[in-house]
Chain A
Amino acid sequence: MSDRHEHAHLPDTVLRVKALESLLVEKGLVDPAALDTLIETYEHKVGPRNGSRVVARAWSDPDFKQRLLRNASAAIAELGFTGRQGEDMVVLENSEKVHNMVVCTLCSCYPWPVLGLPPVWYKSAPYRARAVIDPRGVLKEFGVELPETTEIRVWDSTAEVRYLVLPMRPRDSEGMDEEALAELVTRDSMIGTGLPLSPSQVPSSK
């Protein structure tokens, strides 16, 4: 079911949760910050970190990567992950020349089947506004400094298209298998606000 009007149309359950939450917050019964903290605890439990497996497969299987870049929804479905509304996924490949970064303030536009829950900051209006105007500055705040020669492209999710960033494979990750590679893929690296971990940053005991 696509929304041709490009206006948000939230499902019944989402509206009910928002209604209850806004009433509880106004009455001072729940603190939005406390809710966010609690939700962050479970962040990785939503749509378990499927995206990292997609990225790890693309890093280790060039044929899969080609299919992924050509038709992301179909390639992601090969791994058994599908969105519920049949929204189209588009994968954006990072390179030395281009760094992709995704924004959208509507939680309904976030590809949670592959990325899990959106981080709290992602939903904030200032993030979206600033990401468009000053992407390099925003990235710097996330601790990501890219060479001046790297072009930064900012993508705004639409009602029909959800983006997933394919980060560059870390240099010192040769010889690692898919499972080990998946450990290097952070959520932020798939939104484009972070880089994958280097193998030395991953604790040896799982």
Chain B
Amino acid sequence: MPNRTDLEALPDIPMDDDGPVFREPWEAQAFAMTLELHQQGRFSWPEWARYLHQEIDKAKQSGDPDLGDTYYQHWLAALENICVDKKITSGEALAERKEAWDRAARSTPHGEPIELDRAIRRGEFDK
């Protein structure tokens, strides 16, 4: 787990006295994945901070008022970028997989767990 100094090194991360706060579950998931990859040495913390900074700057330049509510959208975009740059995955793989989840969600009746079709996954995505 990064310490407080690590977290404070990141641009304006939403925090309270006890640590980071999230608005929605997916934000916590994106946060947790980043920590996991960092802990495995896939990237350093300053490197991550740079990617995040870049995304936030880009968003500000294109008119994002940066009120904090879009913070994890930038976080997610930065995480996708760093994963692609580090060859952890590719932009195509991410797009295809997102599409597959969308299909899976749309074809799942309400109340059933959403699962990727195993056959589709093996056929289309496994290397």
Q: Give chain A's interface residues, CB within 8 Å of chain B.
A: 6-11, 13-24, 26-27, 29-31, 34-35, 38-39, 41-43, 45-48, 84, 104-107, 109-110, 112, 117-118, 123, 125, 128, 156-159
Contact = CB atoms under 8 A, between A and B. Distances in A.
A142 to B, nearest CB: 20
A45 B24 contact: no
Most A C-beta atoms less than 10 A away, residue of B1, B26, B31, B37 = B26
B28 interface: yes
Interface of B: 1, 16, 18-33, 35-37, 40, 42, 72-73, 76, 79-80, 83, 88-89, 93-94, 97-98, 100-102, 105-114, 116, 125-126
Most A C-beta atoms less than 10 A away, residue of B16, B27, B101, B106 = B101
Contacts of A125: 113
A18 B42 CA distance: 20
Contact of A42 (B20, B80, B97, B101): B20
Summarize B's interface: helix, strand, loop or mixed: helix
A24 B82 CA distance: 13
Nearest to A156: B111
Contact of B105 (A8, A29, A47, A109): A8
Contact of B108 (A7, A13, A15, A45): A7
Most A C-beta atoms less than 10 A away, residue of B94, B110, B113 = B110
Contact of A7 (B42, B83, B107): B107
Contact of B24 (A6, A41, A112): A112
Contacts, number: 147
18 contacts: A6-B109, A7-B109, A7-B110, A8-B108, A10-B114, A14-B26, A16-B76, A16-B98, A17-B26, A20-B79, A20-B94, A24-B36, A27-B88, A39-B28, A39-B29, A39-B32, A46-B21, A117-B22
A191 to B, nearest CB: 15
Most B C-beta atoms less than 10 A away, residue of A7, A45, A106, A112 = A45
Contact of B32 (A38, A48, A104, A159): A38
B105 A42 contact: no
Contact of A159 (B21, B22, B27, B110): B110
Given A42-B31, A46-B22, A23 B114 contact: no
In order of increasing CB-CB distance, the 10 nearest A-B pairs are: A19-B97, A19-B98, A38-B32, A8-B105, A6-B110, A105-B113, A30-B36, A17-B26, A46-B22, A10-B105
